[in-house]
Each structure stands twice: as structure tokens, then as C-alpha cells.
Copies of this chain bind each other. A is one copy, B any other.
């Protein structure tokens, strides 16, 4: 088949011997990540992945080795994207507004997609716990990275005076994250708009 589309491998890598890949690895990975994010690990079959990644089975296994390894790379990509997102947001609007923006972002998913995708890490943590030890371990590790990021944002906000509370940053960020985690569950369970609004209000109180 002829190349009708340029892709990253054609641009970044100098062409080596052998038939060239007809798909872009990063693009395929990103597509897989979004599918996992919305449907969860077990509820995503290989066929689902092949379709959304637009590749064939043999290419899949040649490039990603297995479903589990692909997921591992997706989690990695997710953390990478998310932290970059938070960092640029932090530069633009400051740490406290960044934390608040993450909340509204989560809630806006509701109106946009009719459901809340929540956090890929949280979702898959529930799923792979006790079933996929390798993944479980990785999820816990990445989760801590997020935890640290939130704590860093809170500390910065305290230094800037955006947060006046003198509580330990780890405690503030912990309460923030816990409320946010609860929010995902609560919204999914069909909470009223009134309750959702109040939960956002309680989040603001935590960051005062």
C-alpha cells in the first residue's frame, strides 16, 4: 500500500531497512488511551482497540507486545499529558485557580459527554486492584505523582497568599483530592445540580 499520509515516524526517524510502519505510534497510543479512559481496562477488548487505533492485529502485537503493556504506556502518557496541562495552567492563571479549574473541567465533562470520565488513574485503580498486580503497582506510583503535584500547587498558593489557611499543604491537598474523587462518583450516581454546586463550594472552602 502507498503512503497517503505523512506520519511522525516518517518525519522523526530516518527510514531504516524494512517495510515502513503505516501508522503513527503516538497517535495510536493516544487513541487507545482515550478509549481506555472512557471504557476501563477490562471493558476494552482487543478488537475495540484495533478499531480505534486503526491498525491490524499483527501490527498491534509487533509494536505494543500485549494489551497490558499498551495500557501501561497509556497510563504513562496520561500522567505526562496531565502534568503538562497543570503546569501550563499554573503559569497562566496561578496555582489556586488551576486547582479550581480542574474541578470545573471535571463537571463540564457531564454536559459535554453526558457522563463523567473522571481520572484514568482512579478508574483503573479500582479495576486492576488485586487482579493485575503489575498495573496496580504502577497506578499507585502515578497516583502519588499526582498527589505530589497537588501538594506543590497548594504550597505555591500558600506562598502567594492565594490560600490563607496555615494547615499543612499535604492535608489541604489531600482534602481537595478526596473531595474531587468523591465528586466523580457522586455525579455518576446521579446527584442533583444543587448538590454538585455545593460540593464545588466546599472545594473552594478547602482552598481558602
Q: Label chain A's interface by main secondary structure.
A: helix
CB distance from A132 to the nearest CB of B (A): 11
* Chain B CB within 8 A of A66 CB: no
With a CB–CB cut-off of 8 A, which chain B residues contact A177?
A: 182, 186
The answer to whether A186 touches B190, judged by C-beta atoms less than 8 angstroms apart, is: no
A143 lies within 8 A of chain B by Cβ:
yes
Whole-angstrom CA separation of A189 from B123 in the bound complex: 10
Give complex CA distance A186, B179 in Å: 10
A195 to B151, CA, bound (A): 12
Contact A188 B126 (CB under 8 A): yes
Shortest A200–chain B CB gap in Å is 11
Q: What residues of B have a CB within 8 angstroms of the CB of A140 in the complex?
A: 189-190
Question: In the complex, what residues of B have CB within 8 A of residue A199's CB?
Answer: 174-175, 178
Also in contact, A130 and B115, with CB within 8 A (given A178-B199, A198-B174):
yes
Q: Is A3 an interface residue (CB 8 A)?
A: no
- Tell whether A195 pairs with B182 under 8 Å between CB atoms, given A43-B42, A188-B126, A189-B125: no
Question: A residues engaging B (CB < 8 A)?
Answer: 42-43, 115, 121-123, 125-126, 129-131, 139-140, 143-144, 170-171, 174-175, 177-183, 185-186, 188-191, 194-195, 198-199, 202
